[in-house]
Each structure stands twice: as C-alpha cells, then as structure tokens.
Structure 1
Amino acid sequence: MSEPCVPSGVVLKDTGFGYTLSLISGKYKMIIIYWLFENKVMRHNELKRSIGTISFKTLSIMLKELEADGLIIRKEFPQIPPKVEYSLSKRGLSLIPLLNMMCEWGEENGLPALEDGQQ
C-alpha cells in the first residue's frame, strides 16, 4: 500500500494534492481544460458556447486564473476587432492524463454501475 497523499497532521493545502486541487478546483476549470485539449485553440465565445451554462464574467475569471497558474496560453492579435485565442500550455497538457483517469473512473463507477447493484 502506498503512502497517503495527505499524511496525518499535514494541512491539505501544504501537499501536492492540495496544490493540484487549488489549480483545477471550481465548477468550470476542468471543463475549460477539456475543451481546449479537444479543440487545441479556442476563442472566448467558442468556449462559452461549448460550455453553455457559464456566464461571460465567470468564464473571463476562470481564463485569467488558468493563465495566471500557467495552465493556458492567451494569445492576443493586434487587430480590430480584437481577437484573442486560448490554448493549453505544456503545463496544462500535463493535466490531461489526470482528466483521462477521472473519465475512466466515472465510466467504471458511475450511476449505471450502482444501478446494477455493483459497489
């Protein structure tokens, strides 16, 4: 058995687990990362349409946080009207295996498995 990710007596935020959660926590950050991985490059309105339930302001905040954390790249083109594109950074791409594992876990342990009586 491996060591616990958060040993007893250690504050969660002071661990690698806590740090990772701080970068991807929130309702939309992992969804934004997913869409950018699937589409390589997206503009603000494309992301908004893809997500559907996110407000303009919330998306703007999430994108700024992801950029500040080095997970996405914001590329601004000097033209009128302004054009801005977002893509995953190398650091952001490194989260994709984690998202894939979450997807696999959800498929193996999701609601249909519980309905079949599996636990």
Structure 2
Amino acid sequence: VPFVLSWSMLNAMACGAPIVGSATPPVEEVISDGENGLLVDFHDPDAIADGLDQALDDRELASRLRENGLVTIRERYALDVTFPKLEELYARAMGRTELSVSGRAVPTTPRAGLSR
C-alpha cells in the first residue's frame, strides 16, 4: 500500500486539532510522536483507538500537541515559507537563478465575450 502525506492532516493541524496519525514515512516526516502528534500503527485498530483515547482523555497532552502542531505548520508550511521554495524550484527547472515578473499588466475586468 503506498502512503502519501495527507493534506487533511496538515489542514487539521493548522486548525489546532491534536493529530493521531499513522506511523508511515510521509506522516513521520511531519509528526514527532508525542510532540506535535501521536503516531500509531496504521494496521492496528486497537492502537488507533488507544491513540484517539489518549488524545481525548489527556487534556495536557492534547494542548501540547495542538500548540506544537501549530508551530510546525507556521515554521514549515506557511505560505511565506513554502512560496519562496516553490519559486526556487520553478526557477531551477527553467534553468534560471531567479524568477522575475514580466511587468505586463493583468486586466482586472474580463474582456468582451468572457465572463467570470
């Protein structure tokens, strides 16, 4: 089974939800067990239930997971962090050292025959 990073997990972290995630490589790139989320065995329903119980029953833990999750999102996934990296990736793909704007004005009203 291929595993991928879940956008919904990142969105939940950004909303301040305590995360119980699968101990799979993509999730482990984001979650440090017990710090900004809990990692559980993806194939073990009892472990998943235990992780959920722990996050729901231990208010201090849940608070720490929420706070640290928000820090993770701000430091690694905020637009001011990710956009420069994306621009750099595009520039390298085009064989440039940086991207520049052409200076052409973008119309703010639709042209005749076009609708929004």
Using structure 1 for the length normalisation, give the TM-score.
0.36
Using structure 2 for the length normalisation, give the TM-score.
0.37
Give the number of the structure whose alpha-carbon radius of gyration is greater: 2
Higher helix share: 1
